[in-house]
Amino acid sequence: MRRLGLRNPLDAPLPTPPDALRKGPLREGAFRSRLHEPRTAVVLGRWLAGAILVCFVTGLISHLLQQPPTWLRDHLPSRPAQGYRVTQGLHVISGIAAIPLLGAKLWTVYPKLFAWPPARTLRHGLERLGIALLVGAMLLELFTGLLNTLQWYPWPFPFRQTHFWLAWIAVGGLLVHVAAKGPEIAEHWRRSKPPLPGRRALLGSVAAAVGAVTVVTAGQTVPWLRSLDLLSPRRPDVGPQGLPVNRTAAQAGTLRTPADWRLRVDGPRPYTLTMDELLALPQTDVDLPIACVEGWSASARWGGVRIRDLLDRAGAAPGALIRVTSLEQSGPYAVMTMPHTYARDPLTLLALRVDGHVLDPDHGYPARIIAPNRPGVLQTKWVSRLEVL
């Protein structure tokens, strides 16, 4: 187009709106702080990018463990046993830490949102539209994630799927933004001028705010911070038998266990077991955490029968996929599939006891699944059937 003397339509200047519209934040000189400048934005951007990267990677791990693609399903690792507790704890901790970081970052750069004219060219307008999409996705992602820790869903769309795709939009927009601003970021990556007055105070205040938010919320995952767990939505040591509960037996309709309850194991050699027959089998005790997507986790000593012993008795092949069915009649996790990597792990139990006591109905009486490195929603409660697929 240049050879022909034609201008790229994307770079054609757009009409400038009348000056009468320059009111409020659009007027000249509306922002007087000298801290609305690139070096401060780059420093805060590095911190925010680190938090977002940790949050994104650990969230992706959680999604793959909950809903793995077929090609990955049989390769999910059951170890380390505390793996999901650590990754999901980091996911929620980094996500909460990103909230004040995003606020500080937006404060630093928001005068540019009111630059005049709003769009000099079509290309400039598209760039600004991309930034609006990035900011909107970030805000919505952190807002919905925070409300998920409270188990409050005041919206009509499904949380998990929306949260997953919003994460890709936000991270994709972030990468495009960093690429577009690469030269400016590189120019201000290192401090090359005398410190700007007030910058250290601002950065110190932001760091203190992030540290304070982390300390008073991370106790739901980090045991040694539990005494400072002031703002966390969940205390991991509060609940029946000292463990939290997301879905109670009353909510699941399993308060009353059928008098004729039997564990049914379907396979090449199907059989059923009463509770007395289950208790007569070799019993195993394991120390494992319950770790939930909301970020809380708590450890307990679980007792019961190894799943692999039950499968061997049914003649299950070593690589068989297992379907677990709950007495719960409805709910997204009333039926769960378990890959052989979990089912054959010696730490995976059909738990009958917790900390030496019979399971409370809210914790899955008469029997529940407990497995290492497994999201809490897949530790099925009120188990009635194991099926070899």
| CATH superfamily, region 242-388 | Oxidoreductase, molybdopterin-binding domain (3.90.420.10)
The pLDDT of residue 264 is: 98
- Count of C-beta atoms within a 10 Å radius of residue 219: 23
How do the domains of the chain map onto residue ranges?
Answer: 9-228, 242-388
The pLDDT of residue 202 is: 96
Q: Give Dmax over CA atoms of the chain in angstroms.
A: 89
Exposure string over 357-367, b if 16+ CB within 10 A, otherwise e: eebbbbbbbbb
The pLDDT of residue 14 is: 85
Instruction: Answer yes or no: are the C-beta atoms of 221 and 297 closer than 8 Å.
Output: yes
Residue 212 burial class via C-beta count within 10 angstroms: exposed 0-12, middle 13-18, buried 19 and up: middle
The pLDDT of residue 373 is: 97
The pLDDT of residue 242 is: 93
Distance CA 387, CA 385 (A): 6
Rounded to two decimals, what is the model's pTM?
0.91
Q: Residue 377: name the closest of 266, 292, 307 by CA.
A: 292
Residue 45 burial class via C-beta count within 10 angstroms: exposed 0-12, middle 13-18, buried 19 and up: buried
Q: Is 84 left (phi over 0), alpha (psi -120 to 50) or beta?
A: alpha
Residue 51: how many CA atoms within 13 Å on its side-chain side?
24
The pLDDT of residue 171 is: 94
The torsion angles phi and psi of 367, rounded to 5 degrees, stand at: -155, 150
Cα angle at 172 between 183 and 25, to 5 degrees?
A: 65
- At 213-222, the pLDDT tens digits run 999 999 999 9
- At 94-112, the pLDDT tens digits run 999 999 999 999 999 988 8
| Average pLDDT for runs of 10 along the chain of length 389 | 60 84 82 90 96 97 95 96 97 97 94 84 85 93 95 93 95 89 92 87 97 94 88 86 94 93 98 98 98 94 98 97 94 93 98 97 97 97 97
Distance CA 164, CA 25 (A): 34
